[in-house]
Amino acid sequence: MRVFITAAGMVGCHAARELLDRGDEVAFFDLAPRADFVRRVVGADVQVTRGDVRELPGVLEAVQAFKPDVLIHTAGLIGGVAQQLPYRGYEINVLGTINVMEAARLSGVRRFVQASTLGVVDRSAPQLAPITEDFQLGGNDSVYGTSKVASEQILRAYAKHYKLELAMLRFAGVYGYGHFAGGSGVGKSTWDLVAAAIAGKPGVIGAGIPDTNEMVYIKDLARGVAQAAHAEHLPHHTYNLGSGVIVTPGDVVAAVQATFPDFTAARPEGYAGGKGGGAMLQPFDLSRARAELGYELSYDLVTGLRDMADEMRKG
């Protein structure tokens, strides 16, 4: 199978590695690819086209040249980086998604896989049980959340009109070996904690690790993305991909201490708590992804952070 991936970041590169291990051919489309990171994670030479998802002609040319069966769209801005300049955040996250979907349609791509987020969940709504894919959407008044809600609605209408296969994957907070140019607060804050532990220094619990959150290790997530690309049939458009567990900063620090017993970490002085539309109090319900994609976890928080530390030591 031929798979075209927008953005050679943490999710895109780890998904590519999983796909290559399955015997697929992979190509990237990225505004500013980091060749050393791609080689380090993907472990093979793959085609990388430089381009901007905001420019439809460039996206279309790249997709038509590669002729993929499946397109995985991971390009976008996250969290505070999306919030800095709202117009830019919406332009990249919404217009960029429309452009990539249109390029996929015009190129005869069979299946479109969208990287979505737990940020679409309306956290002001009562959370009385694990969060299913049918939970109320809201975006929590953030550029990132609302741009992802808009993208999901647009893609659903697009897929229905053109009868395209669509999988929208809602990711929990993703951590692992990566670079965080897109703005992943969870990824960068977790990286900083593990880097401090490796260096034998105290850590700072950054705002990217909220007081309550769901976190998933990148290798588990990448396997779920590959499963969505390969699934013979997609009975639904939307799937939760996470760990099914809510964690606190204390849980994260304790999980690091399982590998680095002397490690300590605390919030920075003057930390006033996270901003946004409420806390994630319930984890994702993963039953649909398990039943329809075959999604299963290989890492808990302790083993995920331990494996991440091993990967970071390799450089």
pLDDT in tens, 112-136: 999 999 999 999 999 999 999 999 9
The predicted model gives 4-12 an average pLDDT of 98
Looking at the predicted structure, is the pLDDT value of residue 309 above 90? yes
In this predicted structure, the answer to whether residue 27 has a pLDDT above a threshold of 90 is yes
Neighbours of 160 (CB within 10 A): 11
pLDDT > 90: what percent of the chain? 91
Q: What percent of the chain has pLDDT over 70?
A: 98
Determine the pLDDT at residue 276: 52
Q: What is the pTM of this model?
A: 0.97
pLDDT for the residue 183: 85
Work out the average pLDDT over 176-192: 92
**315: pLDDT strictly greater than 90:** no
For the cut 60, the answer to whether the pLDDT of residue 49 exceeds it is yes
Tell how strand 173-175 and strand 213-217 pair up: parallel
Report, as an integer, the average pLDDT of 79-101.
Answer: 96
- Domain coordinates in residue numbering, the chain: 2-175+215-243+282-298
| pLDDT confidence of residue 274 | 59
> Please, which pLDDT band fits residue 280 given cuts at 50, 70 and 90?
very high
Mean pLDDT of the 187-209 span: 96
Domain 2-175+215-243+282-298, CATH: 3.40.50.720
Q: How far is CA 123 from the centre of its chain?
A: 19
Q: What is the mean pLDDT of residues 164-180?
A: 96
pLDDT band at residue 271 under the 50/70/90 scheme: confident
Average pLDDT over residues 179-198: 94
**Residue 44: pLDDT over 90:** no
Average pLDDT, the chain: 96
